[in-house]
Amino acid sequence: MSLSSHLLAKNSPVRKFIADHYPNTRALAVPDPHASPHELKVPGRDAVVVQPLLRADAGVAKILPADAERYPWATVGTAVDYRLRYCLEAAPVRTLVAHYGAHKLSMLLTGRREAPVAFQELARALGDVVPEGARTGDLLSMDAEDRLARLCYVLALYEQCYRAPMMRDWPVVRLGDHASLKDLLALCEDRVALDIQALSARFLVGGRELMDAGNLALNPTFGGSVPLGGADADFVCDGCLIDIKTTKDTKPRRPEFWQLVGYTLADWDDCFRLVEVGLYYSRQGVILRWPVEEFLNALAGRPVDLACQRAEFREVLTACGERGGA
Instruction: Tell me if 278 sits within 8 A of 288, measured CB to CB.
Output: yes
62 CB-contact burial (10 Å; exposed 0-12 / middle 13-18 / buried 19+): middle
Identify the pLDDT of residue 292.
Answer: 93
Nearest to 219 by CA among 76, 91, 73, 115: 91
The list of the chain residues with pLDDT below 70 reads 1, 30-55, 321-326
Identify the pLDDT of residue 96.
Answer: 93
Identify the pLDDT of residue 40.
Answer: 45
Identify the pLDDT of residue 134.
Answer: 86
| pLDDT tens track for 172-198 | 999 988 899 999 999 999 999 999 999
Rounded to two decimals, the pTM is: 0.88
The residues spanned by each domain of the chain are 3-55+210-323, 73-206
Q: What are phi and psi of 324, to 5 degrees?
A: 75, 25
Torsion of CA 243, 248, 249, 252, to 10 degrees: 10
Q: How far, in Å, are 81, 121, 137, 156, 181 from residue 187 at the CA level?
A: 18, 16, 27, 11, 10
User: 169: Cβ–Cβ under 8 A, 6 or more apart, which residues?
Assistant: none
Instruction: Tell me if 37 sits within 8 A of 169, measured CB to CB.
Output: no
Greatest CA separation for the chain: 71
